[in-house]
Structure 1
């Protein structure tokens, strides 16, 4: 798998954003198939994403209805407990939305996922290159239009690709002793160097 993560990171270094993103979005599929080829693409992709990448796209969630109720009741202690001690989280980029992005980009070249059956919260992605200073990653925007609100998730292409590569590296450590996965890795494509001639 190292050749694939190196290729993603080389594409990032070369600012080949489209190539980096295409390969990065396939890596959860590849890892999932190596681990369990009997599972279909969508469920294995989602399971792998949830285990190795989702944590980087999960944020604390405060229930607005509960906050309004506590505010109107004047329960300051209850409000404080709810805000500071609640354990609820919400994904900014769920495994469903990640899989929908994979499908939209790899099969259609697009970033709009509202037509994807599997999607959760995001209607489209706004993928950006790294800013000259700082970072601008994982920002959710609600855009109002006559049909309702569209949710757009802004992601910084290098960070998304590196997060997926980091997940692959973590996965590799976990499956290192799995003889079946290791055997299946032998079927992965190798691009052979032909500079010294072509050999089979």
Structure 2
């Protein structure tokens, strides 16, 4: 089978950019829709689409960040001033943030675990779709992904879970390579 050199080179060098190192321009609505179209092409046993997307772009990011900061400060009243500043900018660090929301639920034929993994696959596909369109991206799970008090602010239903927040923008800088595990430490061949 012929090697797709461009895809191989991308996978050899793929790298997340920290959200705080992102800047404008971010993707347009048309580009976001293209990314989501690509992202939804994942393994999905039973064709359930057990996930959905919530796009946070424009001014709504600041409003939601401030509401999340209020929840954070209520959870931790003695929070340091520098952390309060961080909390107030959670969704404004990147031009666009997309929540991947898992809707995994009991099913007579499809294990819930497979549905959860499908949501994870959507997250990675979205990261790669953003990169394919020329943007940097980062898949984060933040404290508010696990705090039910934040769900109404984020537009997430109580029965759902957040698989991740994909931050998308343009890089302020290009990071160097980071250490990766050696294959000998993470691979075994059955029967050997």
What's the TM-score bracket when you normalise by the shorter of the two chains? under 0.3
**Whose RCO is larger (CA < 8 A, sep 6+)?**
2
TM-score normalised over the length of structure 1: 0.25
When Rg is computed on C-alpha atoms for both structures, the one with the higher figure is 1
